[in-house]
Structure 1
């Protein structure tokens, strides 16, 4: 149904598509996010701003229901908006009008085929917005590994003696050798924050430019040198399970291993075996199977901090994701330079 309120977009069932091309000179903008997820990414202010840009059609139904009606929804569309819960858009639905996709989340490769990007379809996404939250979370996990406030709090809550509750081997981040694997949106921001802490940063990324300004090492050499290793690479055929038992064995005793990227970058069995030895401390936010089983041994290892894929989640970030893409659509429609476009030559290398 449509609302008469100028600040609301028209919500339509996916078995209908109204306002066909020719009914209005305004750009047709199709929001493909399921209604239950729209409020996560789009505030009322963002939806108001979107409605001022063009004729907005909001899909209704589940992901599968929206997928079934994509041909009808996207007929005559100028802009498609995707996000969490949106279905993949088949290549054949991109035509002379639909040449712009705004993705109000991070990973977009599964939704837009690489071949249409090669043909000139413009894809923008909110990955850099999410990266702010992820890099802050990464630094928080590193600091927790160095100082262990959560362990001391648990000991205090359990009634431990004042002195015995303290962590006996605290370290500062300043001066620590930190290996960063991957210099994408998150990795670069993490490097910048690590510099502010005066850490010694080393990098593993064969595609990174010299502008980053930190030493680039091989994967093996980074594991040898690092006191802290944090993973931020995308999953590609070249990176899947690239961190294996022989790499983990190179880490010095007491090293920290942080993964807030993708679990498929690591041989999970090898990591579990290494962590069971107790010589490393790890913080893991991503897993091969999510949700993580309540019986998974990672939950009970005293030297492992597990969190439920929460690195990118903040209320502030979610709100910024939607508004950022609305603003980007406005720039696109006005012919202004874009700020969040995915570079076509980097599309297949993205997370």
Structure 2
């Protein structure tokens, strides 16, 4: 792409999503820096009308629901110089060959990690205070619970918190925990002791973390090597009264084993994700009093979507000025992310 000519940017998003991502001002900024064309098929890049636009696209703005239908992006958009993704993972849109061919790829994964980390922080604090146990006991007894009815050692002073995964979200959670009087353990195969220390944590094996932390928050990507990483044996390591928080992916956890631990009443869990994404109607997760279920709401929602849209516009502006992307997805990063 020649930065001295006006670029063509194709926006391939559902109308409702596009309107939630981009406010009037951000859309004006986008139109000032590029010739913006809206795909007639929303996120379907295989539609004939979209295909005609893509043949002239310098930049593709994509997001949740954008799909190549299994076809290679470089075949659909032969002159494409950059993919600016308004969501997190780009794996369904590009592959190693696209990156090798020089397509610049940007993702809003960093900005989407912010509300997830904030959600996780809130649940860590509530878990440390034994909020979930206290709420259940209070409702059941219709009276304040006795101290003996709540987990021993409850409170956030000196609370040992385990962060599984030094992902964007995991790192941000570590940053958010810095002001609190807590001990943070971090497990990630790519984060050594020095890296953990920079994040304000101590590096630990997964088994040590599971066995010694009163609150464990899961932030690993779902890869072939991480699927089912939280096994039945590891769940059994959790101390009595511990709180397990999952805002990553349900398939990282042995779901049957998690249900069994919850059914025993030994631990609590906050599950923003499950496997399947919505539990079966007969799943005990719907009725277990020590399981808090939320419908994948930790990520960007409501007005938080504007942060993603604004971030994507800034990336297009940087490209047209000949500046490097602020949130690039490189080859090494691509290989480690879901």
Tell me if both proteins adopt one fold, taking TM over 0.5 as the criterion. yes
Q: Is residue 299 from structure 1 mapped to residue 286 from structure 2 by the alignment?
A: yes
5 Å-filtered alignment, 1:219-298, equals 219-298=206-285
Deviation at 1:154, TM superposition (A): 7.3
Shift of 1:130: 1.2
Hey, what's the Cα distance between the residues in 2 that align with 1:271 and 1:155?
21
Deviates more, 1:151-160 or 1:27-36: 151-160
Aligned CA-pair RMSD: 2.5
Cα distance in 1 for residues equivalent to 2:276 and 2:250: 9
1:149 positional shift: 4.8
Aligned partners of 1:302 and 1:125: how far apart in 2?
38
Unaligned stretches of 5+ residues in structure 2: none
Which of 158, 172, 195 is the matching residue for 1:211?
A: 195
Deviations 1:76-118 (A, max 9, x none): 2110000112113624426663121111111221122232123
Show the counterpart of 1:198. 181
Cα separation, 2, equivalents of 1:314 and 1:104: 13
| Residue 129 (1) aligns with residue 108 (2) | no
State the 1:36 CA deviation. 2.4
* 1:129-165 CA distance string (max 9 Å, x none): 111100110011122223355676677788923x349
CA distance in 2, matches of 1:267, 1:116: 34
| 1:182–1:205 contact (8 Å) kept in structure 2 | yes
Distance 1:251 1:151 in 2: 16
Question: Would the alpha carbon gap of residues 41 and 63 (structure 1) be closer, same or farther in structure 2, given more than 3 Å must change?
Answer: same
| Superposition deviation, residue 30 in structure 1 | 0.3
- CA distance in structure 1 between the aligned counterparts of 2:300 and 2:42, rounded to whole angstroms: 23
The residue aligned with 1:35 is: 15
Partner in structure 1 of residue 160 of structure 2: 177
Measure, in 1, the Cα distance between the counterparts of 2:138 and 2:205. Answer: 42
What CA distance in whole angstroms lies between the structure 2 residues aligned with 1:122 and 1:57? 19
CA distance in 2, matches of 1:63, 1:109: 15
SS at 2:162's partner residue? strand
Equivalent positions of 1:305-324 (< 5 A) are 305-324=292-311
Gaps of 5+ in 1: 1-20
**Aligned residues of 1:178 and 1:201 also touching (Cα < 8 A):** yes
Task: Identify if the C-alpha distance between structure 1 residues 220 and 134 changes in structure 2 by more than 3 Å, giving closer, same or farther.
Answer: same
* 1:340–1:159 CA distance, 2 compared to 1 (3 A): same
SS state of the match for residue 67, structure 1?
coil
Q: CA deviation at 1:38?
A: 0.9
262-271 or 93-102: bigger deviation: 93-102
Query: 2 CA distance for matches of 1:123 and 1:98?
Result: 11
1:52 to 1:117, Cα distance in 2 relative to 1, 3 A: same
Change (3 A) 1:106 1:306: same
Measure the CA separation in 2 of the matches of 1:174 and 1:192: 17
Pick closer, same or farther for the CA change 1:32–1:95 going to 2, 3 Å: closer
Q: Distance in 2 between matches of 1:256 and 1:290?
A: 20
Deviation, 1:172, is 2.3
Q: Mean Cα displacement is larger for which, 147-156 or 293-302?
A: 147-156
* Counterpart contact for 1:71–1:93, Cα < 8 Å: no
Q: 2:56 maps to which residue? A: 76
Instruction: Give the total of aligned pairs.
Output: 327
Mapped partners of 1:221, 1:156: distance in 2: 33
Distance change (3 Å), C-alpha of 1:155 and 1:230: closer
